[in-house]
Structure 1
Amino acid sequence: MSSAQPAVPPHPPAIRSPVTIRHAYIHVPFCPSICPYCDFHVLERRGDLVERYLARIEQEAEALAGRYDLALDTLYLGGGTPSFLRPSEMETLVASLRRHIGWGRLENTLEVNPGTVSPERAAHWRGLGFDRASVGVQSLDDPTLKFLGRQHTAQAAREAVQQLTSAGFRVSGDLITAVAGQPLESDIAGLIALGVEHVSAYTLTIEPGTPFARQGVTVREEDEERGFEQTEALLTAAGFDRYEVSNYARSPDAQSRHNRAYWTGEYFLGLGPGGAGSYPGNPETGEQPFRRTNPHLHQWLAGEHGDAEPLSPEDVVTDALFMGLRLREGLHLPTAAYRSGLDVQAHYAPVIAGHLRLGLLELDGEHLRATRKGWWLLNRVVTAFLEHDEENAEAQNRARDRAGE
């Protein structure tokens, strides 16, 4: 779709959307250094970019508040390295968000790099209203951290978690698995000993265009499988619940409420360069639900908007499948049918039946969920749903062509 002819107007229309949005993601692209595996929109700070970023965020927040009814339950400041912002910059950002879109009623998460934490900074963030910290620990082994290009040490990560906990944060620790030679067992034991209430464990992936890809770094399948199996075994033995394919919580209250909004298909604002949002559209104006990803920093600073991608009923369902099947309880079929207007079980009957036979999916009452084996092969499962829609579309096109002959 051309940005010159967006399907959704880039500026607030006269009629506000009647659907309340309860979640907001704000992207802060600045980092102290760029990790060689990272493919997010990030850059090192320079010149007056942060000042211009803060001014543009305020404009964007004000515009979104004019278009949507907002009553935030969760807010997530991600990056990049949001904790890299100076105290005065963080104050300005938080003030802009509170003034225009509000603050989360249930949870407000700050992504934190261990190298940016001190007792004073932790207390400052807590005083601004952040109550949950997602800490990029990645490993508690110095050689592994060096390979990953991380600038902090294992000891710095331990101290960061302790300082955040002391300041009153609920702490989640990020862990990268499948690194060759990584002492995964001691990494996990170390996180557990630090008392984190939540662990996000992601397999190292080599994305095109990253330094690792250019260097020819690869990830062995045996390391991937070992990470997948061992992480679950060790964390569940310690009392953590694997509630999502890559996420573990000590208790239901420790789950990420913000991320659950993604996985259950809720609408959310996306602010900042590269920030992605999911929006409800407006039945009164005929506007479809849509996704929008903001352009990178310099285009965003210039006021450009990312293309709006209207969502067809099939798009709504495949998004719901891709996200919902990540959860242990799976996809709630009546909710997916209500949001999309499609009878999901009927529309995808052959795909569902085939994966039930393969033991990759299972039906449990009103939920369609991935089995443990299905989690391991989740991309393959979701691809089958996408291919089913593509085949249907091709068949319909052929039928129309024949009718026109």
Structure 2
Amino acid sequence: MVEPAVNSEAGHSAGVDPVVRHLYIHVPFCPTICPYCDFHVLTRRAGLVEAYLARLEEEAAQLAGRYAVDLDTVYIGGGTPSFLRDAEIRTLAETVQRHLGWGRAENTLEINPGTVSPDRAGLWQALGFDRASVGVQSLDDATLRFLGRQHDAQQAREAVSTLVNTGFRVSGDLITAVPGQPLDDDIARLVELGVGHVSAYTLTIEPGTEFARRGVTVHEDDERLGFERTEERLSVLGFERYEISNYARPGQRSQHNLAYWQGRTYLGLGPGAAGHYPAGQEAVPDGSGASLLTLRRTNPHLHDWLQREAGDTVPVDATEYVTDALFMGLRLREGLNLEALSRRSGLDVSSRYSEVIRRNVGRGLLEHDGRWLRATPQGWWVLNRVVTEFLEG
């Protein structure tokens, strides 16, 4: 993506693009709650989806009136967006298009394999979706049962094949480090179905989940094996690891997720949705709006969101913007351009963090060519520790 031009006007958002080009919409409804899930999700009840859609339209109109919006990407996630009925997903898509527009580059729908049919795939495509992110997780029935998934391997295969044949660019999610999982087979079978993108996430046991209550654990050796083996197998099959957990064939990278990793601004629409907004001259709780680069907002959960309660707003100054950008940008294989980050933030990043960079280059965890900073494979494995040094530096 092209770096935005520097705006030196006093009080404006420095080099941060004042136009928002990305939109995330959260659909919180799921048919069941998976035992590893800690997202804001719930099962549907009478009248709840109707109330959600009405409030979504109101919020979309508010965002359209508040920000300059020219969308490159739209991503509808959850929850299970494809769990919405046909009339409901049509209403949602038309609401977004009416108030905020539609992405020129990419429009993604998250899909549960059990919700796919040829007719539904055709409807989603007709509504303007061109990319499908499918929660496959595994193509082994025993692994799927352990993960509490409601679909089986055959349903997953049929769903991916249907979406590929309909003309979607398809990304398949895999969960790794599951006890007894045939990971090599999962990878090979998924690729054989024609996906152009794979997101591979280590099973993580989050507090408050069913897995945590049951005492399920993930061993570090299994985590490391999954981390390394996934890249080995996918690279042989023609996929590039372009981000810690994401692999793509040429031309198949997720443009929406790249916006997150590159520190771009984006709208967050729906309950629990997070957004990253240009600050402009907005007033924030500490009254320091004129000195800010961006604002991060997180909407409240469904009940409070329906009642129009305010969410959390976090002002982001130049230093916080840079550390956020380092945390996200170092997840990318190519890393991040420190000159461009300096232009956007107004800070001389290379000079400010020269000692942290020098120390971690010496440890073999970072590479720095004077312009670009990137993590090595060893650095990816301990990235949280590396970023902590930037926060402390």
Cα distance in 1 between the residues matched to 2:141 and 2:277? 42
Q: Does 2:363 match 1:354?
A: no
In percent, how many aligned pairs have the same letter? 67
Cα distance in 2 between the residues matched to 1:228 and 1:353? 27
Cα distance in 1 between the residues matched to 2:149 and 2:340? 41
Secondary structure of the 1:266 match is: coil
| 1:271 aligned residue | 269
| 2:388 aligned residue | 383
Cα distance in 2 between the residues matched to 1:308 and 1:94? 27
TM-score, normalised with respect to structure 1: 0.90
Cα distance in 2 between the residues matched to 1:376 and 1:26? 31
Cα distance in 1 between the residues matched to 2:130 and 2:228? 31
| 1:239 aligned residue | 238
Q: CA deviation at 1:387?
A: 2.4
Cα distance in 1 between the residues matched to 2:281 and 2:375? 33
Deviations 1:274-307 (A, max 9, x none): 1000001114874431100101000000001212
In the alignment, structure 1 segments of 5+ residues that lack a partner are 1-16, 389-405
In the alignment, structure 2 segments of 5+ residues that lack a partner are 1-15, 284-288
Q: CA deviation at 1:18?
A: 8.1
Residue type at the aligned position of 2:327: F
What does 1:317-396 correspond to in 2, within 5 Å?
317-388=322-393
Cα distance in 2 between the residues matched to 1:350 and 1:205? 33
Q: Does 2:93 match 1:88?
A: no
Secondary structure of the 1:254 match is: coil
Q: CA deviation at 1:20?
A: 0.7
Secondary structure of the 2:74 match is: strand
Q: CA deviation at 1:214?
A: 1.2
Residue type at the aligned position of 2:206: E
Q: CA deviation at 1:339?
A: 2.0
Secondary structure of the 1:171 match is: strand
Conserved 8 A contact 1:324-1:330: yes
Q: CA deviation at 1:365?
A: 4.2
Cα distance in 1 between the residues matched to 2:392 and 2:148? 38
Deviations 1:225-271 (A, max 9, x none): 110111000000011011111111111x1000000000111100001
Cα distance in 1 between the residues matched to 2:312 and 2:257? 24
Structure 2 CA distance for partners of 1:338 and 1:121, relative to 1, 3 Å: same
| 1:313 aligned residue | 318
Structure 2 CA distance for partners of 1:382 and 1:284, relative to 1, 3 Å: closer
| 1:135 aligned residue | 134
Cα distance in 2 between the residues matched to 1:134 and 1:241? 18
Deviations 1:209-232 (A, max 9, x none): 111111111101111011011100
Residue type at the aligned position of 1:69: A
Residue type at the aligned position of 1:382: V
| 2:113 aligned residue | 114
Q: Does 2:182 match 1:177?
A: no
Conserved 8 A contact 1:21-1:68: yes
Secondary structure of the 2:179 match is: coil
Deviations 1:356-401 (A, max 9, x none): 111000113411000010011111111121222xxxxxxxxxxxxx
| 2:76 aligned residue | 77
TM-score, normalised with respect to structure 2: 0.93
Structure 2 CA distance for partners of 1:284 and 1:42, relative to 1, 3 Å: closer
Q: Does 2:36 match 1:43?
A: no
Cα distance in 2 between the residues matched to 1:343 and 1:214? 47
| 1:393 aligned residue | none
Residue type at the aligned position of 1:71: D
Residue type at the aligned position of 1:368: L
Conserved 8 A contact 1:316-1:340: yes
Deviations 1:188-210 (A, max 9, x none): 00011111000000111111111
Residue type at the aligned position of 2:207: P
Cα distance in 1 between the residues matched to 2:370 and 2:123? 47
Q: CA deviation at 1:336?
A: 1.4
Q: CA deviation at 1:351?
A: 1.2
Cα distance in 2 between the residues matched to 1:52 and 1:179? 38
How many residues are matched? 371
Q: Does 2:165 match 1:160?
A: no
Cα distance in 2 between the residues matched to 1:189 and 1:320? 34
What does 1:212-223 correspond to in 2, within 5 Å?
212-223=211-222
Residue type at the aligned position of 1:301: L
Secondary structure of the 2:63 match is: helix
Q: CA deviation at 1:312?
A: 1.8
Residue type at the aligned position of 1:126: Q
Secondary structure of the 1:27 match is: strand
Cα distance in 2 between the residues matched to 1:110 and 1:92? 14
Greater Cα offset, 221-230 or 285-294: 285-294
